[in-house]
């Protein structure tokens, strides 16, 4: 009898590459995958990005994620890599192959939510290009680098962490919305490109993710800042807009990614799995 849910050790013997792993949903995915037996390649820019008005994940946060995964028994390769740097990603692929062989799973989680907070006509060209280059171009580059070995093996899974911004519009976030809509489109097109090779490609579309201290999250705080919403009590304000009257936890995103990564979803490709407490259903 087949199963339709992850079992303990569902990723045993597999290697997963996770971008944007220093904190937030990236850290949550790393911990969930490690708990299921995966070895991990964890990367993050781990440095400021000029033009992004808030601190990026740090090397110490990335190392904390890695150490937490090692305590669960995972073998972990850590790298400070900017997903805008194709050469650095290519070098990391070689290190990955030397250490683990070809990876089985790629989670494209790296992304930024700002510079945002302006209507389209007030958006600077540099801000637009930065948003698209990180949030869409980064996933394209990582796929370009890591998918050939999956094609050769005739098996693999790519999971793109998009957003409800890939499904609906948000005022004053045109660059982010456009990039995330593009990521959903990339998911569907690449799913067709690789279906005959046994490589599955899906997207997870989270809604507002709680800034959980254990995950060092700060995405929701940055959205509030971009919208001039006071930091005090902004959780309650965002929660009131959710049909289920709750925010999404990083672990909710990780659980969706885990299901897409394992054999329980072996016939699922080219789809978007929305984890948003009902927001996009309205």
Check 54, 170, 176, 197 and give the catalytic one: 176
Give the separation between CA 212 and CA 248, rounded to whole angstroms: 10
Reduced to 3 states (helix: H, G, I; strand: E, B; else coil), residue 213 is: helix
Decide which of 51 and 219 is more confident. Answer: 51
Predicted confidence at residue 213, as pLDDT, reads: 76
Q: Which positions ≥6 away from 239 have C-beta within 8 Å?
A: 245, 246, 247
Confidence class for position 2, pLDDT limits 50, 70, 90: very low
Q: Over range 263-280, report the average pLDDT.
A: 96
DSSP 103-138: -SEEEE------S--B-GGG--HHHHHHHHIIIIIH
pLDDT band at 6 (very low <50, low <70, confident <90, very high): low
Q: Which of 100-109, 169-178, 225-234 has the lowest mean pLDDT?
A: 225-234
Cis preceding linkage at 115, omega within 30: yes
Q: What is the mean pLDDT of residues 211-224?
A: 71
Q: Work out whether the CA dihedral 64, 69, 72, 74 comes out positive or negative.
A: negative
- DSSP per residue, 60-83: HHHHHHHHHHHTTT--EEEEE--T
> Mean of the pLDDT values across residues 47-76?
96
Is 279 one of the annotated active-site residues of the chain? no
18 — pLDDT class (breaks 50, 70, 90): very high
**Residue-averaged pLDDT of the chain:** 92
Is residue 262 within 8 A of residue 36, CB to CB? The reply is yes
Q: What is the pLDDT of residue 163?
A: 96
What pLDDT sits at residue 245?
A: 85
**What is the value of pTM for the model shown?**
0.93
**Among candidate residues 214, 280, 269, the one with its CA nearest the CA of residue 242:** 280
- Confidence bin at 234 (pLDDT 50/70/90): low
Q: Which residue has the higher pLDDT, 8 or 62?
A: 62
Mean pLDDT over residues 98-120, rounded?
96
pLDDT, average across residues 177-203: 98
**Band of residue 240 on the pLDDT scale cut at 50, 70, 90:** confident
């Amino acid at each position: 009898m087949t199963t339709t849910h992850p079992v303990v050790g569902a990723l045993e013997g597999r290697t997963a590459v996770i971008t944007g792993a220093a904190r937030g949903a990236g850290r949550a995915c790393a911990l969930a995958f490690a708990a299921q037996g995966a070895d991990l390649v964890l990367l993050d820019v781990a440095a400021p990005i000029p033009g992004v008005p808030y601190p990026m994940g740090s090397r110490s946060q990335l190392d904390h994620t890695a150490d937490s995964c090692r305590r669960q028994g995972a073998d972990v390769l850590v790298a400070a890599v900017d997903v805008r740097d194709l050469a650095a990603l290519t070098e990391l692929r070689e290190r990955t192959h030397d250490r683990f062989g070809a990876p089985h799973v790629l989670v494209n989680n790296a992304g930024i939510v700002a510079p945002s907070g302006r209507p389209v006509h007030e958006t600077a060209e540099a801000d637009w290009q930065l948003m698209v280059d990180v949030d869409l171009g980064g996933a394209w580059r990582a796929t370009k680098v890591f998918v050939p070995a999956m094609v050769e093996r005739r098996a693999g899974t790519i999971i793109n962490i998009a957003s409800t911004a890939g499904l609906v519009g948000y005022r004053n976030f045109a660059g982010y919305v456009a990039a995330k809509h593009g990521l959903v489109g990339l998911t569907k097109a690449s799913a067709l490109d690789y279906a005959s090779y046994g490589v599955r490609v899906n997207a997870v579309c989270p809604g507002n993710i709680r800034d959980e201290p254990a995950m060092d999250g700060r995405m929701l705080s940055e959205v509030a800042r971009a919208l001039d919403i006071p930091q005090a009590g902004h959780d309650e304000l965002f929660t009131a807009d959710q049909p289920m009257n709750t925010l999404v936890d990083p672990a909710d995103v990780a659980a969706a990614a885990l299901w897409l990564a394992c054999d329980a979803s072996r016939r699922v490709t080219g789809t978007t799995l929305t984890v948003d407490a009902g927001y996009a259903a309205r």
